Structure 1
Amino acid sequence: MIRTAVTVAALATVTAACTTSTGETPAPPKKTTLGAIRLVAYNSCDDMLAGLREKAAANVGPWGFGGVTPLTARAEDTAAITPNAKTAVPEHSTTNVHEAGVDEPDLVKTDGNRVITVTGGTLRIIDTATRKVTSTLKLTEGDERVFAPADLLLSGNRALVLFRGYGDAMFKATSAVPLGDTRYVLVDLAGEPKVMSTVKPQGTYVDARMVGSTVRIVTRSQPDITLPQPKENVSEAERIKANQAAVRQAPIDAWLPKIEIKDASGAVKTDTVKCERVSHPADYTGTSLLTVHTLDLAQGVTTTGTDPISLAADGDIVYGTGTSLYVASNPRWWSVLPMPIDIAPAEEPTPEEPKPTPEEPKPTPTIPPEETEIHRFDVASPGPPSYVASGKVSGRLLNQYSMSEHEGHLRVATTLTSADGKNSSSTVHVLKADTLAKSGEVGGLGEGERIYSVRFIGAVGYCVTFKQVDPLYTLDLRDPAAPKVTGELKITGYSAYLHPGGEGRLIGIGQEASEQGRTLGTQVSLFDVSDPASPRRLSQLFQKDSGSEAEWDPHAFLYWPKTGLSVIPLTQQNESGALVLKIDDSGVSKVGMIKHPTQEQQGDYAYQPGIQRSIVIGDTIWTLSQEGIQVNDATTLASQTWIPLR
């Protein structure tokens, strides 16, 4: 027998029917019709099991359920969670986030008085006044080595450490290094840091958002179903039939996500998401569940645990505002096995069936259309979120910046590529936030190209597409029913990340390229977008043969509007560091480079640590690499302190 994980879902609209915080069962959920979108909840566990079994059975193939998953404060608590209340807090930068007031997990956090980071499974607290590590806390168990870096969220004297782990048991079994499970560790930072509780959910961590001290964490779980060991010389049809039989016998526990919570004393409590807290769309595959956990850092883990709700859907991109949480699922047809194709199994032709002549056309594979599904939760109230609506748009999202909620509408930018990969075009869709039904769209952006970056600022949108040249489009989104392109700027290269740079200014981080589209090195551009009909580039700084992490991870980008200081990681030929810039209303200029000390390795091998993050604290710049943290003067860039983290 083999144990396989269910992967990949293509789903539509859902709603959640949740129990109350006291555990009472609510009244039966109402079925609500919102235009063409039908929100449906399960009536009972039996109803849920029957539906999931049949949907999953319909989607099982001869080799299983798919291919390999892509590696992809309360008032009374205020005093307790306010650090160093008598000490003046230095002016400091925070994590570069998509929406103001909605914090995102990152490698390092600061409140001005402390810098907190986790490397090698150990949490470290650095006092910004003395510039020394004041406390450490080992968060890994035994010889376990966490393969991916941990992310952090910070609220007062509470830190939430999010270990991504790997939920795919097959991947863990074949890995050469010990891999940690997905888990969320709540740490009390008052005095010596200590673990308050550890939440270990079933599945993999997708992303999280924090508003105030309340964190919403999205995980994705896959049913654990035992499928028969494939036998030799058995047809695919027979394998499918055997797998379907196994699915139809699987218990409800195979789908319901499980949660393990360990408190400070080591006592472990296990729980399972209740049937009445799971919802489904009118059309779904039964192969994946998204679960949203709620954790208030000020209160810690209460008797209700993480108040989880689940829906029969898949998702990999999270976008949040102060009142909404969106989870989007990009098309995954390239990783689905078996892919439905109109090709018969290869067989040796019989005399009655002669071999086809070369002139006969070959069957063409049938590839599912590229569609992105989007699910919205209402997170405006305390406690578990409520599910609002789901929708679908054609094409593929680039990242969370491809979505933006504004005045009751969600704007979504996608690229749609033809099945043969030869044609592509991008569209900005405008959906009603309450139903996710379409209000309008503007398409035809970058014919033959794909989206490289998107930024929505109020009623204006900016979209960069690229193949050989970089059209920067400006979009007028004031009328949701009739969005339109107002301007276009064609230049070589592209911007992979766009950042507001003040009134009428837009900063772009990306790559310069030749007229043939070959990338040449990092470029930082300042655009004048004060006239939406005529965007223009005011200034460009080019670093030949280089790349920056800020191109694909906006958390790596630092912009300090007070002085125009900007810092991005830079890797150039055989050296790494952080490029320090001055960006003002008229241009971009280079201030200098910050580099971390060269690290010696065994065998006389030395290397330059790659800088990942930068922070402004007072009149200094703090930069983080896997080896340590360095403090430099913000004006002269003179190195002041090196704090090793190994």
Structure 2
Amino acid sequence: MKTLIRTVVAGAALATAISACTSAPEGTAPTKQRLPAIRLVSYNGCDDMLAGLREHAAGNVSQWGFGGAMPMFMTREKSASADAAPEHSTTNTHEAGVDEPDLVKTDGNRVITVTGGTLRIIDTATRKVTGSLKLTKANEPAYAPADLLVSGDRALVLFRGGDIMYKGFAPVGQTRYLLVDLAGAEPKLLGTIKPQGTYVDARMVGSTVRLVTRSQPDITFPQPKENASEAEMKKANEAAVRQAPLTAWLPKIEITDAAGTVTKKAVDCARVSHPADYTGTSLLTVHTIDLAQGLTDAGTDPISLAADGDTVYGTGQSLYVTSNPRWWWPVPMAAVEDTPQAPATEPDPAEPSPSAKVTLSPEPTPTAPPEETEVHRFDISKAGPPSYVASGKVPGRLLNQYSLSEYEGNLRVATTLNSADQKTSASSVYVLKADTLDKVGEVGGLGEGERIYSVRFIGPVGYCVTFKQVDPLYTLDLRDPAAPKVTGELKITGYSAYLHPGNDGRLIGIGQEASDKGRTLGTQISLFDVSNPASPRRLSQMFQKDSGSEAEWDPHAFLYWPKTGLSVVPLNTYSEKNEEIGAMVLKIDDTAVTKLGMIKHPVQKQKDATYQPSIQRAMVIGDSIWTVSTDGVQVNDMNTLAEQAYIPLH
């Protein structure tokens, strides 16, 4: 199931911010919103910055504070061994040439992964671990989740800290980035970066990494006096905000080099910008690290903006950070006995939060804030810190980064907009001019009463799947940015949660089959013929009853090898009669999806119990399939699927 990293903000904490907002009448369909363009504006010095942040933050603080907690690179010469690397797959990414953090990386000669807080290097020729480095401290849990970016002999390990749940893991430690040298006999730590705030995401082009974090102002609010009214509590919090120093907002960063020397810095106020309309309760910071150069005197060259963000999309020239509206349930604060937590799965918009314990209350329900997504674009085409280009807004909520696509000077954005009562919805695709983020065109009316489950833009064509009971796959003609249009629609049961380009005129979908009532039944892999945009059709379907795949919510888990059509999908069945955990190996050609077999890792023992490890990733290296679980890495023959080696990771 999809784990979300979102902050739940209770209704009363939003009351101040939403008092001037209007929404569609209850029970009516969402209407198009005319949204003002937003631009980032530099502050006129530190005093102006402090005054602006105080004023805006004071206007958005409530008696409860700021609401819930934030959910929340000299180029090296290629070595001879690198040139002789066997043919291999890489991380499944959104855009070619833009790498994304993942739990495993390979250059064909090495497999690098971090599990249990330890980085390990596996030689693909000997199929043995040749080096390891413990990265977590004694007081940190061994299961601390981490992602990797690798360029040459340098790796950047990204530990996600904070008070959020990530992919089912409990909250762990601080956000930190570790630079590791992979060149020696054993990997060596070159430095540690601890930014203030929570890690959002990162992208790497060449050897240059851009990392996005977000932070709240460091303000301690006074303890409420006994029997204080909500108005008195709010007034006291406003006073605390208006007295807070500039340092409360400026994001801090701590850098420790290989010798253990610690340098502490803060983002210079001259490097902080703001939109015309902002809350002052959140700052986004973009850090830049060239892995080839390592840590320099410039540190991470951070720049910040007074805005929020939760989705990152990157091309070779641009970095986009977008801010979705917070999940909102119309429940007065007085009616909530337990503080709501971020939902473990994407909630049905028609259903209340399962995590809030609610009692009946005669208090009026506050009006929901309008759903709108802010988009900020940065130019990353040059070395050094990125430069701001433009900002804009679109109505509705993004699904993920695949809802965004830059093409020929325009940004396409797909969103779902819910009605005020969350009972009706519709989806649209907006086309924005990339240099200004002003709207050029739009096409709406997709999936009335449904929401977006997957999006894929491929050149001038777009594909969008919406779902509630059946799955309309829409094809979109985006050749004319000013007049995008729907050209075809295919209705089938179930849905595709991830869409992947196949051969010419083919589209691969990974998702769930469902009954005609909309109840999910198990994993399905679909092959669509989209060569005629006016008449998309499904050519083949592979259905595995009572099962789910991580690839449904994390595209990094899907392997597609275009050369042969080989595909690998992690699969967990959950039927009482048929429990099967492993990876399903498929052949996807121009006409059919064919199951070739299953790969399973050895059963593991834990105290008095045994378990079957879940496979999370798959790679092609030479003539073998390499699969990765938290317990080990296994190598299987690509043609026969016979096991060739198993490398334990503990």
TM-score range, shorter chain: 0.7 to 0.9
Name which of 239, 251, 256 aligns with 2:245.
251
**SS of aligned partner of 1:384:** coil
**SS of aligned partner of 2:556:** helix
Identity of aligned residues (%): 76
Evaluate the alpha carbon distance shift between residue 227 and residue 335 of structure 1 in structure 2; reply closer, same or farther with a 3 A threshold.
farther
**In the alignment, is the contact (CA less than 8 A) between 2:163 and 2:172 conserved in 1?**
no
Q: Which stretch of the first structure deviates more once superposed, 140-149 or 189-198?
A: 140-149
**In the alignment, is the contact (CA less than 8 A) between 1:67 and 1:338 conserved in 2?**
no
Question: Which residues in structure 2 correspond to 1:148-187 (within 5 Å)?
Answer: 148-166=144-162, 179-187=172-180
Distance 1:416 1:459 in 2: 24
Answering whether residue 640 of structure 2 is matched by residue 640 of structure 1, we say: no
Question: Which residues in structure 2 correspond to 1:126-525 (within 5 Å)?
Answer: 126-145=122-141, 148-166=144-162, 179-191=172-184, 192-334=186-328, 363-525=364-526
**SS of aligned partner of 1:313:** coil
Answering whether residue 106 of structure 2 is matched by residue 106 of structure 1, we say: no
Instruction: Please tell me the residue identity of whatever aligns with 2:188.
Output: K
Deviation at 1:333, TM superposition (A): 4.8
Distance 2:617 2:402 in 1: 20
Instruction: Please tell me the residue identity of whatever aligns with 2:635.
Output: V
Look up the match of 1:348: none
Look up the match of 1:116: 112
**In the alignment, is the contact (CA less than 8 A) between 1:333 and 1:368 conserved in 2?**
no
**In the alignment, is the contact (CA less than 8 A) between 2:161 and 2:198 conserved in 1?**
yes
Distance 2:51 2:333 in 1: 25
Distance 2:411 2:143 in 1: 35
Distance 2:646 2:631 in 1: 10
Distance 1:214 1:179 in 2: 27
Deviation at 1:166, TM superposition (A): 1.1
Name which of 71, 76, 91 aligns with 1:78.
76
Look up the match of 2:45: 44
Deviation at 1:456, TM superposition (A): 0.1
Question: Which residues in structure 2 correspond to 1:620-639 (within 5 Å)?
Answer: 620-639=624-643
Deviation at 1:597, TM superposition (A): 0.4
Evaluate the alpha carbon distance shift between residue 176 and residue 524 of structure 1 in structure 2; reply closer, same or farther with a 3 A threshold.
closer
Look up the match of 1:31: none
Deviation at 1:340, TM superposition (A): 13
Evaluate the alpha carbon distance shift between residue 236 and residue 397 of structure 1 in structure 2; reply closer, same or farther with a 3 A threshold.
same
Distance 2:539 2:144 in 1: 39
Distance 1:367 1:436 in 2: 26
Distance 2:286 2:423 in 1: 38
Q: Which stretch of the first structure deviates more once superposed, 175-184 or 92-101?
A: 175-184
Distance 1:399 1:178 in 2: 22
Look up the match of 1:601: 606
**SS of aligned partner of 2:239:** helix
**SS of aligned partner of 2:532:** coil
Instruction: Please tell me the residue identity of whatever aligns with 1:226.
Output: T
**In the alignment, is the contact (CA less than 8 A) between 1:569 and 1:611 conserved in 2?**
yes
**In the alignment, is the contact (CA less than 8 A) between 2:506 and 2:530 conserved in 1?**
yes
Distance 2:600 2:200 in 1: 32
Q: TM-score under structure 2 normalisation?
A: 0.87
| 1:48-100 superposed Cα distances (whole Å, 9 cap, x missing partner) | 11111111111111111112444x573xx423xx3553762100000000000
Distance 2:160 2:171 in 1: 14
Distance 1:556 1:443 in 2: 31
| 1:377-430 superposed Cα distances (whole Å, 9 cap, x missing partner) | 000111000011111111100000000000010000000111111100000011
**In the alignment, is the contact (CA less than 8 A) between 1:146 and 1:165 conserved in 2?**
no
**SS of aligned partner of 2:377:** strand
Deviation at 1:230, TM superposition (A): 1.6
Evaluate the alpha carbon distance shift between residue 38 and residue 123 of structure 1 in structure 2; reply closer, same or farther with a 3 A threshold.
closer
**In the alignment, is the contact (CA less than 8 A) between 1:550 and 1:557 conserved in 2?**
yes
Larger radius of gyration between Structure 1 and Structure 2: 1
**In the alignment, is the contact (CA less than 8 A) between 2:198 and 2:213 conserved in 1?**
yes
**SS of aligned partner of 1:145:** coil
Deviation at 1:365, TM superposition (A): 2.6
**In the alignment, is the contact (CA less than 8 A) between 2:117 and 2:144 conserved in 1?**
no
**In the alignment, is the contact (CA less than 8 A) between 2:160 and 2:174 conserved in 1?**
yes
**SS of aligned partner of 1:253:** helix
**In the alignment, is the contact (CA less than 8 A) between 2:469 and 2:494 conserved in 1?**
yes
Evaluate the alpha carbon distance shift between residue 242 and residue 86 of structure 1 in structure 2; reply closer, same or farther with a 3 A threshold.
closer
Distance 1:304 1:313 in 2: 24
Question: Which residues in structure 2 correspond to 1:521-540 (within 5 Å)?
Answer: 521-540=522-541
Instruction: Please tell me the residue identity of whatever aligns with 1:183.
Output: R
Look up the match of 2:21: none
Deviation at 1:337, TM superposition (A): 9.8
Deviation at 1:465, TM superposition (A): 0.3
Evaluate the alpha carbon distance shift between residue 477 and residue 485 of structure 1 in structure 2; reply closer, same or farther with a 3 A threshold.
same
**In the alignment, is the contact (CA less than 8 A) between 1:145 and 1:178 conserved in 2?**
no
**SS of aligned partner of 1:516:** coil
Deviation at 1:502, TM superposition (A): 1.1
Q: TM-score under structure 1 normalisation?
A: 0.88
**In the alignment, is the contact (CA less than 8 A) between 2:87 and 2:621 conserved in 1?**
yes
Evaluate the alpha carbon distance shift between residue 555 and residue 176 of structure 1 in structure 2; reply closer, same or farther with a 3 A threshold.
closer
Deviation at 1:178, TM superposition (A): 8.0
**SS of aligned partner of 2:220:** strand
Distance 1:336 1:448 in 2: 20
Instruction: Please tell me the residue identity of whatever aligns with 1:476.
Output: D
Look up the match of 1:564: 565
**In the alignment, is the contact (CA less than 8 A) between 1:146 and 1:179 conserved in 2?**
no
- Unaligned regions of 5+ residues in structure 1, if any? 12-34, 342-360
**SS of aligned partner of 1:165:** coil
Evaluate the alpha carbon distance shift between residue 338 and residue 46 of structure 1 in structure 2; reply closer, same or farther with a 3 A threshold.
farther
Answering whether residue 581 of structure 2 is matched by residue 576 of structure 1, we say: yes
Instruction: Please tell me the residue identity of whatever aligns with 1:589.
Output: T
**In the alignment, is the contact (CA less than 8 A) between 1:398 and 1:453 conserved in 2?**
yes
**In the alignment, is the contact (CA less than 8 A) between 2:472 and 2:491 conserved in 1?**
yes
| 1:430-483 superposed Cα distances (whole Å, 9 cap, x missing partner) | 101011110010000000000000000000000000000000000000111110
Deviation at 1:103, TM superposition (A): 0.2
Instruction: Please tell me the residue identity of whatever aligns with 1:422.
Output: K
Instruction: Please tell me the residue identity of whatever aligns with 1:598.
Output: V
Name which of 573, 592, 597 aligns with 1:592.
597
Evaluate the alpha carbon distance shift between residue 340 and residue 433 of structure 1 in structure 2; reply closer, same or farther with a 3 A threshold.
farther
**SS of aligned partner of 2:105:** strand
| 1:529-558 superposed Cα distances (whole Å, 9 cap, x missing partner) | 000000000000100110000000000000
Aligned alpha-carbon RMSD (Å): 2.4
**In the alignment, is the contact (CA less than 8 A) between 2:222 and 2:237 conserved in 1?**
yes
**SS of aligned partner of 2:384:** coil
Q: Which stretch of the first structure deviates more once superposed, 86-95 or 305-314?
A: 86-95
Instruction: Please tell me the residue identity of whatever aligns with 1:581.
Output: L
**In the alignment, is the contact (CA less than 8 A) between 1:147 and 1:180 conserved in 2?**
no
Answering whether residue 118 of structure 2 is matched by residue 125 of structure 1, we say: no
Distance 2:516 2:327 in 1: 33
Instruction: Please tell me the residue identity of whatever aligns with 2:440.
Output: S
Distance 1:6 1:528 in 2: 40
Instruction: Please tell me the residue identity of whatever aligns with 2:198.
Output: T
Distance 1:83 1:198 in 2: 26
**In the alignment, is the contact (CA less than 8 A) between 2:8 and 2:327 conserved in 1?**
no
